[in-house]
């Protein structure tokens, strides 16, 4: 019997605990999405997303929501890479991420890679809502295919608003069935790992970053508002992580 796919949502809520730390009054997950509290680091609460089963598979609908209230600091990572796999249906899988950060709050969103295995069809959408005085470090790493296999299809959208103003809204489509040219010289040029890094700091409003190439194939550009975007492509996930780590170090005071 063919199923319609798994629906699952994880929710994380962080707030200042009144003692200089961060509490997690909301920490819940469904099915394959299991957020787990780990040891705090100073005033920062830490959460790891654990995948309790394979996926997303074709037809699955996953969502993760995180909200960081004023004065709170939250760091979210994942226990392992997420691997999109073909399912019993021909439907695409969806993975939606919604992040909200208030004034005086800080979020580090640093999951492991998302890998689109051969035959998979995944649509990812990340939407970020920041207050003017919020701080954010967000990293996305997407890999087309496992070692030695053809890539799956990936459609990825990343959108961010600061103080209600859209400062970034972009979409990438690649893999089988994507519009022509995605792997050509004006696209990925044969690379199989794609990464983006967003750093938002109120200080950038007075001292915006300067657009410039970084190490290897990474490029830094300022965004309207107190934020910066780094994009990079690489032959594999290991090289991509190194490029993004170096970029983050360059943007960290």
| pLDDT tens sequence across 36-77 | 999 988 899 999 999 766 779 989 999 999 999 999 999 999
| pLDDT tens sequence across 142-179 | 999 888 788 889 999 999 999 999 999 999 999 888 87
Tell me how crowded residue 204 is: count the other CB atoms within 10 A of its CB: 17
Q: Where are the beta strands (DSSP E) in 163-226?
A: 165-174, 193-200, 212-213, 219-223
Beta carbons within 8 Å of 217's beta carbon, 6+ residues apart: 191, 232, 233, 234, 243
| pLDDT tens sequence across 69-121 | 999 999 999 999 999 998 777 789 999 999 999 999 999 999 999 999 999 99
Exposed, middle or buried: residue 175 (CB in 10 Å: 0-12, 13-18, 19+)?
buried
Q: Are 173 and 138 in contact (CB under 8 A)?
A: no
pLDDT (0 to 100) of residue 3 = 53
Give the pTM: 0.93
What does the chain come to in residues? Answer: 253
């Amino acid at each position: 019997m063919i199923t319609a796919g798994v629906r699952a949502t994880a929710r994380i809520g962080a707030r200042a605990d009144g003692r200089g730390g961060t509490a997690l009054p909301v920490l819940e997950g469904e099915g394959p999405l299991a957020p787990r509290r780990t040891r705090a680091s100073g005033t920062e609460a830490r959460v790891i997303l654990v995948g309790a089963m394979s996926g997303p598979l074709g037809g699955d609908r996953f969502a993760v929501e995180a909200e960081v209230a004023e004065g709170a600091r939250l760091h979210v990572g994942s226990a392992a890479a997420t691997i999109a796999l073909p399912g019993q249906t021909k439907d695409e899988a969806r993975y939606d991420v919604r992040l909200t950060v208030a004034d005086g709050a800080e979020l580090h969103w640093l999951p492991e890679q998302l890998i689109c295995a051969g035959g998979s069809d995944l649509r990812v959408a990340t939407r970020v809502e920041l207050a003017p005085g919020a701080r954010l470090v967000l990293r996305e790493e997407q890999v087309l295919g496992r070692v030695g296999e053809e890539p799956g299809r990936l459609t990825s959208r990343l959108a961010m608003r600061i103080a209600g103003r859209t400062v970034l809204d972009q979409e990438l489509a690649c893999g089988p069935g994507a519009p022509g040219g995605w792997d050509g010289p004006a696209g990925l040029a044969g690379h199989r790992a794609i990464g983006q890094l967003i750093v938002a700091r109120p200080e950038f409003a007075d001292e915006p970053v300067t657009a410039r190439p970084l190490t290897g194939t990474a490029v830094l550009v300022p965004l309207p508002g107190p934020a910066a975007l780094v994009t990079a492509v690489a032959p594999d996930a290991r090289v991509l992580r190194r490029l993004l780590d170096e970029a983050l170090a360059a943007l960290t005071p």
